[in-house]
Amino acid sequence: MWTVRRSLFLLCGLGLVHLTPGQSIVVKPGTADIPLTAHTFSEETASVPGHGGRVPGMDLLDKNTRHHAGDLPHAAARDLVDTAWVMLGSSGDTLPAMDGVHWLRSRFVPDKDLAGQPFVLLVSAEVPFVVHLNGEERLRSSGTRLAVAEASCPGSGLPLVFRCDGLPEVIAVRIDGVPGADLDRSGIHLSLHPADYSYRTQRTMVHRGIFVGINVIIALLALVIGWSEQQRRAWILVFLLSVVSILDIVSELAGNTDMLGMSEEVQRWMHALNLLLLPWGSYLLIRLLGEMGAGLKAGRARLYLIGAVLVTVMVVFFLIARSRGLVDDTNGLMLINDQPWVVLPGLLLLALFGIIVAWFFVEVVRLGIRLLRTKGYTRWIGGGAVASSLLTLLFGIISGFSGVGFSDWLSLFASYCSFVAVPVSITVFLAIRAAHHNKLVQRQRDDLDREVQERTSELRAERDRSDALLLNILPAEVAEELKVQGEAAARHFELASVLFTDFKGFTTVAAQVDAAELVQELNACFRAFDDIIDARGIEKIKTIGDAYMCAGGLPDPRSASAEDVVLAALEMQEFMQRRKAERTAGGRPAFDMRLGIHSGPVVAGIVGVKKFQYDIWGDTVNTASRMESTGDIGRVNISSATYELVKEVPGLVFTARGEVEVKGKGRMEMYFVQRSDEVA
C-alpha cells in the first residue's frame, strides 16, 4: 500500500530532475550545526556493525562533521571555532596527518524537548581514539574494532545526554592513527542513535512480520475461496492486493531501511521495487471496492489502470535518472538542471504525478464511503479502505506534531492502518459472511430437521395406525413375527382355556328392531367383552355372527390362566344382565346369552396370504363350543378339565351338573360356576 511520505518524496524527485546532462549544482545545508528534534530519527537510519543492516540513527560521517588532520590543543572544547576545518566528504578528509592524529567534530543544536532524553554514540576504529562531549572526555579506546566494549555501558555504546541549553553541543573524537596516514585508514565508524534503537529495530521487524503474516493468510484464503466460488475476480484482486502489500513490506525492509542485511546490489533492486509498487496497492484496492459493490464502470476502471501505468513510468524515469547520477537521494541531495527547457518538463511531471496520487487517494476514500453506506456486510471492506487511507494520513500528521514517545506510537498506529486495516476488514467480512452462511445453513438444517421430524412423525403415526390395525387382527407376537419374517408359523399350546358365547333368540330380537339398531347392540356387547378380556390379558380370536370366541394362555402361555378366563366369563354374564335390565326398562328387546369354557391343547396361527386372521384349531375348540351350546342362559358352563384348574380359586362356587350328553362327544361332566356372594 502506498504511503503519503513516499509519494511526497518521489514528487520532489520527479519535479527536480531531468534525464539529460547539463549544468548542475549540489544542494547542501549552509551551516555546520546539526539540528536534533524529536523526529530526527524517525526517518534516518545508519548502519551498525553486527546488526546486519541499518537501524534508526544518524551516521555522523555523512553529516556536517568537520575534520582536521593533525593535533590541536583544546580541539575538544565546546566553544572552539571550527569553521576553518574541512567538511567530511570533501577532499580534505584524504589529507594525511604527519603525527597520525585526526580530529572529528560534530556540532548539534538539540531542541529543549530532548532534555533528559538518552542517546547512544557508537564508535569503532582500527586505531586508538578518545571521545569527548562538550570538552569532557567520555571514552578512551586502545584501538579495537569493538571499542564500545570499553564504554561505561558495555555492549550498548556510549550513553549521552545533551544539556539542551540552547547552545551548540559538540561531540569531538581524537584519532591516534599511523603517522602520515589519512582518515580513511583508521576504519572509523561514528553514529548517533536513540537509546532504544535496538528495541526499535526489533519492534519494526516484529510488526512488519505481523503485517506480512496477516497478508499471507489473506492471500491464501483468497486463493482458496476464489477457487471454489463464482466471484473469482474479486478474490483474485484480494490475492493480488495482499501480494503487493507483502512485496511492499519486504522491499521496504530490504531496500529502504536495509534491515535484512542484503548486499548493496540487492538493496538497490529492492528499493526500486518498493518505488515501482507505489501506485498498484491503491489501484487494486479501487478495483476491489468496485467488485464488492461500490459501483465502478469499466471505462473508469481503465482510467485507473492508465493512471497506475503512468505513475510506474514516471518512477522508472526517476530510477534511470538516479542510476545515471542525475539525482542523489541517499542524503536528500538532488542534482538539478537549471535550464528552463529542462525544468518545465520536470514541473509538468511533478504536477501529473501529484494529480494521479491525489486522485487515487480521493477515489479510495470515495468508493470506500460508498461501499460503507451499503446494507450488505461488504461494507466492512469499505470501512477498511477508508481507515487505511484517512487514519494513516491523520496519524501521520498528528505524529509530526507530537512528542518522541507519543510520535512513535502514532507512527505505529499509522503503519497498522496502512498495512492491516484492509486485510482485517476482509477478515471481518469473511467472518460475518461465514456466520451469515452458517445461520442460513443452520436455518435450512433446522427446517430440514423439522420437515424430517414432521415426515417422521407422520410416518410414525401411519406406522402406529398400521400396527394398531394389525394388532386388532393379530396378537402382538404374531404380528411382529409376520413383519420381521414375512410369515408366522403355527404353534402348539399344551393348555389353553377357550371361551364361547352365543345369544339365544337372536333371530327373534333381529325381527323386532331394524338392522342398524341390531348391529349397534351387537357392537355395544362385543365392545364390553373386548374391554373385559383385555383387562385380563385374554386373546380375542374372532366373532361369527352373534357368537364371540376368545382364549386364555396364548400366544403367550403366561398371559392369562383358566382363572382369568372364568372370571372374565362371569363379568360378561353380569354385563349382559345389566344390559337386559336397561333395555327392558326402556321397552326395548334384549339378548340372553349362553357361555361355555373348556381347557386343553390347541394349535394357533394364521393361514393364507390375504386377510390374515389369527385362529385356533383342535378338539379343545370343538369341546368349548359344545360347553356353550349345552349351557343355560345367564350361566357360565365349564368342563371338568377347566373345573380342575379353577376349583381352588377363592370366591368361586361350583354347581355340578353331572354327566350331560354332548353331540359328537357322548356324555361329559360339566359345572356351573358363579361368585360366592351371589350364592349368599
pLDDT at residue 119 greater than cutoff 90: no
Q: Is there a single domain that holds both residue 162 and residue 209?
A: no
Percent over 90 (pLDDT), the chain: 18
Q: Which range has the top average pLDDT, 193-207, 253-267, 387-401, 504-518?
A: 504-518
pTM over 0.75, yes/no: no
Q: Is there a single domain that holds both residue 160 and residue 72?
A: yes
User: What confidence tier does 19 reach under pLDDT thresholds 50, 70, 90?
Assistant: very low
| CATH of residue 577 | 3.30.70.1230
Question: What CA–CA distance (Å, rounded) separates 462 from 459?
Answer: 5
pLDDT at 3: 46
Count CA atoms within 13 Å of residue 453 on its CB side: 6
Q: Is there a single domain that holds both residue 165 and residue 219?
A: no
| Closest by Cα among 640, 637, 619 to 627 | 637
Asked whether residue 454 is assigned to any structural domain, the reply reads no
Q: Is there a single domain that holds both residue 115 and residue 143?
A: yes
> H or E stretch including 121?
strand 118-124
Cβ atoms 318, 327 nearer than 8 A? yes
Q: Is there a single domain that holds both residue 295 and residue 405?
A: yes
The angle formed by the CA atoms of residues 158, 253 and 198, to the nearest 5 degrees, is: 25
User: What confidence tier does 679 reach under pLDDT thresholds 50, 70, 90?
Assistant: low
Give the pLDDT mean for 83-112.
80
Q: Is there a single domain that holds both residue 260 and residue 408?
A: yes
The single-letter code of the amino acid at 660 is V
User: 394: domain range?
Assistant: 4-10+203-422
Please state the separation of Cα 313 from the chain's center in Å: 42
pLDDT tens digits, one per residue of 171-209: 999 999 888 888 888 888 888 888 776 666 677 778 778
| CATH of residue 103 | 2.60.120.260
Asked whether residue 373 is assigned to any structural domain, the reply reads yes
pLDDT at 529: 95
| Closest by Cα among 550, 419, 420 to 475 | 550
- 153, 175, 195: which is the final residue of a domain? 195
Q: Is there a single domain that holds both residue 673 and residue 619?
A: yes
Q: Is there a single domain that holds both residue 392 and residue 508?
A: no
> Within 324-403, where are the H helices?
340-372, 379-386, 392-400
pLDDT at residue 117 greater than cutoff 80: yes
pLDDT at residue 59 greater than cutoff 70: yes
Give the pLDDT mean for 521-535.
93
- Strand 45-47 and strand 118-124: the pairing is unpaired
Asked whether residue 385 is assigned to any structural domain, the reply reads yes
> Within 277-339, where are the H helices?
280-289, 298-323
Q: Is there a single domain that holds both residue 114 and residue 155?
A: yes
- 132, 165, 195: which is the final residue of a domain? 195
Q: Is there a single domain that holds both residue 405 and residue 500?
A: no
| CATH of residue 322 | 1.20.1070
Cβ atoms 649, 563 nearer than 8 A? yes
More confident residue, 550 or 489: 550
Asked whether residue 427 is assigned to any structural domain, the reply reads no
pLDDT at 415: 76
| DSSP string covering 473-537 | HS-HHHHHHHHHHS----EEEEEEEEEEEEEETHHHHHHHS-HHHHHHHHHHHHHHHHHHHHHTT
pLDDT at 643: 95
Total domains in the fold of the chain: 3
Q: Which residues pair with 669 in a beta bridge?
A: 659
- 169, 195, 221: which is the final residue of a domain? 195
Asked whether residue 533 is assigned to any structural domain, the reply reads yes
**What distances in angstroms separate CA 411 from CA 114, 192, 215, 256, 628, one per listed residue?**
19, 21, 20, 17, 110
Write down the mean pLDDT value for the chain: 79
Percent over 70 (pLDDT), the chain: 81
Asked whether residue 547 is assigned to any structural domain, the reply reads yes
Q: Is there a single domain that holds both residue 189 and residue 254?
A: no
Asked whether residue 276 is assigned to any structural domain, the reply reads yes
pLDDT tens digits, one per residue of 297-339: 888 888 989 988 998 888 888 888 777 766 555 544 344 445 5
Q: Is there a single domain that holds both residue 211 and residue 334?
A: yes
Query: Cell numbers of 612, please?
Result: 390374515
Query: Cell numbers of 342, please?
Result: 529542462
Asked whether residue 21 is assigned to any structural domain, the reply reads no
More confident residue, 221 or 45: 221
**What distances in angstroms separate CA 559 from CA 536, 601, 602, 614, one per listed residue?**
8, 16, 16, 16
